[in-house]
């Protein structure tokens, strides 16, 4: 059982043993082409077919993009003009058309003599360098490529204009270099683009090339984005197989016109699942039915799949089958307008494969009579077939007859609630060639003894939890019924009921669930059941045992499911379905809210943080509040300053502060409050705009009230002071902090026995001491000198803690403090903070010091500090020593690398000698 786990992870395959192996070189190449399509192709706007021409003096300049309209206008001109007017017309035609020439029959004057007017147009090269569009403007929404980005600045996941650029405009794609693909490889590339959700009219122009030929076309996921213009590439391909699903914008007649003569005579396989053309197909006159006309032009069709065709009725089916004398395989499942099987009589002697699942037949006697004539039938799928008010007894009696399909190999009778063990036993006895029987949700056969038929594979009703081989059975059921969304959802629910107590990793089952969710991306009930299963199979003690690549696929498919249905979360199709969409978001957050996922898996962190904040605003659920703020508190620290600024909007800030106020009112310092404060702390880090919104929304008042409500909670105090410290880093906002209650609070917290609390209180004090003198002058009663002295005393009293108290994205906020020579205590706090984090993690912070050119500033402080500020010189010297040691270590590493390279080169030379 091989196959790619998820778009973007197609570089790896899950084997039958559950291990991961690299895909083939061809698969890797195709995956690379899909992920870098814009880089590998020239992209130009599709020039409109516009014909501009100047009419005689008494007419105006005309313009049209339709050649037939131009022909009609010119014919009118020829009937009302003389030869001189026509000569003028010929000389005034604007040469900007995309066709070579246009031949128009005309009559000159009153003479009945016919003549032809030949207009030749210049055909400019659309691939001229001046017409090319920079490929950087095209970030095709490849699922894997988008979700893999940890830094979502490229592409911005919430930019719908960028995502929809191809749906609003028509472009032509062409490889930048000569590409010669075999028909098989070209078909694989087309399927890969389709699987990644990248196909539309523009991308399909890539295949409108005589150097890229196809023998088969399979478009199963992107059909709704394709129009008749996109199917033009079919014309120069001689096809044996054509499979187009979800075509909502293409009429059957358009498909017929897109096929060349060779294809019409030789096409063997046609699949039009979920075919819903833009306008209803006319039923009054059968020959005018476009679907009938399409199949009528394919006389040698062997396989026809019309599953879920809303406009296919009994009369249309009869006409279609009449035109297909060699048809072998037919799928008319889920066609709601077919009420009888009588049309099958026209192919009764050649039909070998029949799927009539989910049909609502009106007369069981007629159905049985027709089925008895299918003497060559080998595959028969009659799942969930209903016969109105009639019972299934006659249908079951037919199954037991030896003359019914004597060569039958596969029978699926799932959902036949009245099928008894006696009927099944007699059927097996009278059909020795049978190899497979589907018995899902057949209650009377749940305990059927299958040991008498070892050569037959049974997919039985799922038994109680703990049955031997249950996992394999479930996986087989998913594989066999992958195209049936109802059964897939039911099976996933069964898996969820047992996966909660699973204690061993199930990589094959996990990979199979991912495939089902990929196949049914638009069906919310499948996504809900699938995400619930993935949560139970990959979290807790099972998480570390899951292959990291497989876990990454789980995360990507979960994010895709949540994002695909996020709009329906707030505006569901109907009121009853809203809880279903909310449950999908809840399942996703449960899986993502895990340290192993948030810290070790590569995914689009900005995208997930934004979805979490939207859910925080959209739901009124405490469990979702906890998961959302938990995710934001971790991911916000990993984002760029630009990204955190975009997340700190008024809407989200209001909700986060509301959560804090709710905890104040209930006197509950729970884990939700801790995560909320961490999220606010990280969102305001080096983000002046977010800090401004925080102040505007009266966040400062909320925090002061919070400190008064929980005076002895060190964790709350640390996070609150850290958040206020971010505000103090913004010069224009310091005036908001220069208030007597806040300064009094800082002086009190500077003396705290908890160094983390004292540290952040000192940081706020240092930034306030750097405020403009005018700001302090306005606040006349504020103790500037006392705060300055107490800051220095607090810093000198600290002992370096064992663990790192804080992490910094950059040292930019420290630069103004280091330059502020009027107050050595301010410089002291900045140097102590830099030394604290650098000595704990020199490999991370020493490069940051060097990158921001801080060592030169340290050298000046080391040399110029006065005797009264000797401690400033001392800390500057210690930091310089850390930088020096780091540089020496790097030199040693570089020298060792050079030595290894030299030794390797010498060994290769000796081998060659």
Rg over alpha carbons for the chain, rounded to the nearest Å, is: 36
Determine whether 182 is exposed, middle or buried from the number of CB atoms within 10 Å of its CB (0-12, 13-18, 19+): exposed
287 vs 134: CA distance, rounded Å: 49
Closest C-alpha among 324, 374, 317, 43 to residue 200: 43
Contact yes or no for 575/588 (Cβ under 8 A)? no
Return the exposure string of 5-16: e unless at least 16 CB atoms fall within 10 Å of the residue's CB, then b. Answer: bbbbbbbbbbee
Q: How far apart are the first and last CA of the chain?
A: 47
> Residue 788, Cβ neighbours under 10 Å: how many?
18
| C-alpha to C-alpha distances, 7 to 216, 308, 520, 603, nearest whole angstrom | 21, 26, 14, 13
Task: Please name the residues in contact with 608: beta carbons below 8 A apart, sequence gap of 6 or more.
Answer: 559, 592, 631, 635
The 3-state DSSP class for residue 53 equals strand
Is 456 among the domain residues?
yes
What pLDDT shows up at residue 515?
A: 86
| C-alpha to C-alpha distances, 784 to 776, 788, 789, 827, nearest whole angstrom | 8, 6, 9, 16
Is 374 among the domain residues?
yes
pLDDT in tens, 329-352: 999 999 988 999 999 999 999 999
225 vs 163: CA distance, rounded Å: 13
Closest C-alpha among 577, 640, 619, 546 to residue 151: 640
Q: What is the pTM of this model?
A: 0.77
| C-alpha to C-alpha distances, 133 to 43, 174, 225, 274, 533, nearest whole angstrom | 6, 12, 22, 35, 44
Is 597 among the domain residues?
no
Which residues of the chain are modeled with pLDDT < 70? 1-20, 46-169, 279-289, 389, 461-469, 499-502, 566-577, 865-868, 892-913
Largest CA distance in the chain: 114
Is 327 among the domain residues?
yes
607 vs 148: CA distance, rounded Å: 11
What pLDDT shows up at residue 436?
A: 93
Closest C-alpha among 435, 372, 438, 418 to residue 399: 372
What pLDDT shows up at residue 800?
A: 83
Is 453 among the domain residues?
yes
The sheet carrying 216-219 orders its strands as 216-219, 241-244, 269-271, 303-305, 329-331, 353-355, 379-381, 410-412, 436-439, 457-460
How many domains are there within the chain? 1
Rounded-to-10 torsion of CA 89, 90, 95, 99: 110
What pLDDT shows up at residue 123?
A: 41
DSSP 100-149: SEEEEEEE-TT---EEEEEEE-----TTSGGGPBPGGG-----HHHHHH-
Contact yes or no for 255/245 (Cβ under 8 A)? no
Q: Which domain CATH number covers 317?
A: 3.80.10.10
What pLDDT shows up at residue 90?
A: 46
> Residue 160, Cβ neighbours under 10 Å: how many?
9
Q: Quick one: which H or E segment has residue 20?
A: strand 20-22
Is 303 among the domain residues?
yes
pLDDT in tens, 413-455: 988 888 889 999 999 999 999 999 998 888 888 788 888 889 9
What pLDDT shows up at residue 658?
A: 92
What pLDDT shows up at residue 541?
A: 79
Token pair belonging to 326 = 């060699």
Is 231 among the domain residues?
yes
127 vs 125: CA distance, rounded Å: 5
Q: Give just the sign of the alpha carbon dihedral 891, 895, 900, 902.
A: positive
- Domain range enclosing 297: 214-464
Is 282 among the domain residues?
yes
What pLDDT shows up at residue 52?
A: 40
Token pair belonging to 244 = 């187009």
Closest C-alpha among 410, 373, 28 to residue 189: 28
- Spacing of C-alpha 865 from chain mean position: 57
What pLDDT shows up at residue 684?
A: 92
Task: Please name the residues in contact with 576: beta carbons below 8 A apart, sequence gap of 6 or more.
Answer: none
Token pair belonging to 518 = 């990929």
The 3-state DSSP class for residue 667 equals coil
Contact yes or no for 748/717 (Cβ under 8 A)? no
Closest C-alpha among 167, 61, 78 to residue 115: 78
Label the pairing between strands 353-355 and 379-381. parallel
727 vs 683: CA distance, rounded Å: 11
């Amino acid at each position: 059982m091989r196959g790619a786990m998820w778009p973007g992870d197609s570089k790896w395959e899950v084997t039958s043993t559950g291990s991961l192996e690299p895909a083939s070189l061809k698969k890797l190449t195709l995956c690379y082409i899909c992920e870098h399509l814009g880089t590998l192709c020239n992209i130009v706007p599709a020039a409109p077919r516009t014909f501009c021409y100047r009419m005689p003096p008494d007419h105006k300049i005309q313009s049209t993009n339709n050649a037939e309209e131009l022909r009609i206008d010119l014919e009118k001109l020829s009937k009302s003009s003389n030869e001189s007017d026509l000569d003028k017309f010929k000389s005034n035609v604007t040469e900007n058309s995309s066709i070579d020439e246009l031949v128009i029959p005309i009559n000159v004057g009153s003479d009945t003599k016919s003549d032809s007017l030949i207009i030749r147009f210049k055909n400019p090269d659309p691939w001229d360098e001046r017409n090319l569009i920079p490929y950087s403007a095209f970030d095709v929404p490849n699922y894997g490529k988008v979700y893999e980005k940890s830094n979502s600045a490229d592409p911005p996941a919430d930019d719908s204009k960028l995502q929809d650029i191809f749906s609003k405009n028509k472009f032509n794609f062409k490889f930048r270099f000569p590409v010669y693909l075999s028909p098989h490889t070209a078909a694989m590339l087309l399927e890969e683009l389709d699987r990644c959700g990248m196909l539309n009219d523009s991308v399909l122009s890539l295949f409108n090339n005589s150097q890229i030929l196809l023998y088969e076309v399979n478009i199963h996921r992107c059909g709704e984005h394709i129009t008749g213009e996109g199917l033009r590439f079919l014309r120069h391909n001689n096809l044996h197989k054509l499979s187009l699903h979800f075509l909502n914008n293409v009429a059957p007649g358009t498909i017929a016109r897109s096929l060349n003569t060779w294809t019409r005579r030789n096409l063997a396989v046609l699949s039009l699942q979920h075919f819903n053309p833009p306008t209803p197909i006319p039923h009054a006159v059968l020959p005018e039915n476009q679907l009938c006309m399409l199949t009528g032009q394919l006389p040698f069709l062997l396989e026809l799949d019309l599953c879920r065709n809303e406009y296919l009725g009994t009369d249309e089916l009869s006409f279609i089958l009449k035109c297909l004398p060699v048809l072998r395989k037919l799928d008319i499942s889920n066609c709601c307008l077919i009420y009888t099987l009588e049309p099958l009589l026209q192919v009764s002697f050649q039909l070998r494969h029949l799927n009539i699942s989910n049909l609502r037949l009106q007369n069981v006697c007629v159905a049985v009579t027709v089925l008895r004539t299918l003497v060559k039938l080998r595959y028969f799928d009659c799942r969930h077939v209903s016969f109105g008010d009639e019972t299934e007894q006659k249908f079951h009696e037919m199954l037991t007859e030896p003359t019914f399909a004597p060569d039958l190999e596969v029978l699926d009778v799932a959902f036949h609630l009245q099928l008894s063990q006696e009927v099944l036993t007699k059927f097996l006895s009278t059909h020795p060639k049978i190899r497979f029987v589907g018995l899902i949700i057949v209650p009377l056969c749940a305990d059927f003894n299958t040991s008498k038929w070892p050569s037959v594979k049974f997919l039985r009703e799922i038994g109680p939890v703990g049955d031997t081989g249950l996992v394999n059975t479930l996986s087989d059921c998913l594989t066999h019924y992958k195209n049936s969304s109802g059964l897939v959802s039911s099976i996933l629910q069964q898996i969820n009921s047992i996966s909660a107590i699973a204690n061993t990793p199930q990589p094959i089952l996990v990979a199979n669930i991912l495939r089902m969710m990929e196949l049914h991306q638009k069906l919310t009930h499948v996504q809900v059941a699938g995400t619930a299963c993935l949560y139970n199979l990959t979290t807790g003690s099972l998480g570390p045992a899951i292959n990291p690549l497989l876990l990454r696929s789980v995360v990507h498919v979960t994010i895709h499911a949540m994002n695909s249905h996020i709009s329906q979360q707030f505006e569901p199709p109907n009121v009853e379905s809203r809880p279903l969409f909310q449950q999908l978001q809840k399942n996703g957050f449960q899986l993502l809210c895990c340290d192993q996922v948030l810290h070790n898996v590569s995914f689009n962190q900005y995208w997930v943080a934004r979805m979490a904040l939207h859910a925080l605003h959209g739901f009124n659920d405490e469990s979702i509040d906890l998961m959302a703020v938990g995710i934001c508190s971790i991911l916000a620290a990993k984002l760029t300053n630009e990204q955190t600024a975009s997340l700190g909007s008024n809407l989200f800030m209001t909700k986060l502060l509301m959560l804090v106020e709710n905890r104040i009112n209930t006197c509950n310092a729970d884990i939700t409050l801790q995560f909320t404060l961490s999220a606010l702390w990280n969102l305001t880090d080096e983000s002046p705009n977010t800090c401004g919104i925080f102040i505007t929304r009266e966040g400062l008042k909320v925090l002061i009230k919070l400190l008064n409500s929980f005076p002895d909670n060190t964790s709350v105090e640390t996070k609150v002071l850290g958040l206020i410290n971010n505000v103090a880093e913004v010069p224009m906002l310091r005036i908001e902090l220069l208030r007597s209650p806040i300064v009094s609070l800082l002086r009190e917290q500077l003396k705290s026995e908890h160094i983390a609390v004292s540290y952040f209180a000192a940081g706020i004090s240092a930034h306030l001491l750097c405020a403009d003198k005018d700001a302090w002058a306005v606040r006349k009663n504020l103790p500037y000198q006392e705060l300055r002295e107490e800051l220095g005393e607090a810093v000198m009293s600290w002992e370096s803690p064992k663990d790192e108290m804080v992490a910094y994205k950059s040292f930019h906020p420290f630069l103004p403090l280091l330059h502020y020579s009027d107050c050595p205590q301010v410089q002291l706090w900045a140097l102590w903070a830099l030394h604290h984090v650098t000595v704990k993690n020199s490999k991370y912070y020493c490069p940051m010091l060097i990158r921001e050119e801080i060592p030169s500033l340290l050298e000046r402080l080391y040399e110029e500090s006065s005797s009264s500020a000797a401690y400033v010189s001392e800390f500057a010297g210690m930091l310089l020593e850390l930088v020096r040691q780091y540089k020496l270590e790097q030199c040693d590493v570089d020298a060792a690398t050079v030595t290894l390279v030299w030794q390797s080169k010498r060994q290769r030379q000796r081998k060659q000698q």
